[in-house]
Amino acid sequence: MGELFMNDRVTGSEVLLRSLLIEGVECIFGYPGGSILNIYDSILDIPEFKSILVRHEQGAIHAADGYARATGKVGVCFATSGPGATNLVTGIATANMDSVPLVVITGNVSSSLLGTDAFQEADIVGITMPITKHSYLVRDIEELPRIIHEAFYIASTGRKGPVLIDIPKDVTSQLTTFEYSLDTPQIRGYKPDTQPDSNQIDKLLRAIEEAERPVILAGAGVIYSDASKELLAFVEKTRIPVTTTLLGLGGFPSGHELWMGMPGMHGTYTANTALQNCDLLISIGARFDDRVTMKTNGFAPKAKTIAHIDIDPAEIGKILLTAIPCIGDVKTILQQANLSAAPAKSELWLEQITENKNSFPLRYTDSDVTLKPQFVIEMISESTGGEAIITTDVGQHQMWAAQFYKYMHPRSIITSGGLGTMGFGLPSAIGAQIGNPNRLVVSVNGDGGFQMCAQELAVCALYKLPVKIVILNNQVLGMIRQWQELIYDNRFSSMNLSGSPDFVKLAEAYGVKGFRATNKEEAIEVWNKALEIDGPVVIDFTISQEENVYPMVAPGSTIDEMIMGDEA
Q: Which of 14, 97, 150, 169 is catalytic?
A: 169
Cα–Cα distance for residue pair 225/527, rounded to 1 Å: 34
Q: Which of 5, 23, 29, 57 is catalytic?
A: 57
Is 276 tagged catalytic?
Answer: no
CA distances from 125 to 63, 137, 169, 286 (A): 21, 7, 15, 29
Q: Which of 6, 119, 382, 567 is catalytic?
A: 119
Torsion of CA 550, 399, 224, 328, to 10 degrees: -30
Q: Which of 265, 479, 552, 562 is catalytic?
A: 479
Distance, C-alpha 191 to centroid of its chain: 25
Cα–Cα distance for residue pair 423/429, rounded to 1 Å: 11
Angle value at C-alpha 212, between 281 and 232, nearest 5 degrees: 60
Is 119 tagged catalytic?
Answer: yes
Angle between helices 373-384 and 520-532 (to 10 degrees): 40
Q: Which of 26, 49, 50, 120 is catalytic?
A: 120
- Exposed, middle or buried, 398 (CB in 10 Å: 0-12/13-18/19+)? buried
Is 152 tagged catalytic?
Answer: no
Residues 6+ apart with CB under 8 A from 85: 57, 79, 106, 108, 122, 124, 127, 166
Cα–Cα distance for residue pair 467/512, rounded to 1 Å: 10
Torsion of CA 481, 487, 490, 494, to 10 degrees: -40
**Amino acid, single-letter form, for residue 561:** E
Angle between helices 373-384 and 396-404 (to 10 degrees): 40
CA dihedral (301, 302, 306, 312) positive or negative: negative
Cα–Cα distance for residue pair 536/468, rounded to 1 Å: 6
Distance, C-alpha 558 to centroid of its chain: 26
Residues with active-site annotation: 57, 119-120, 169, 479
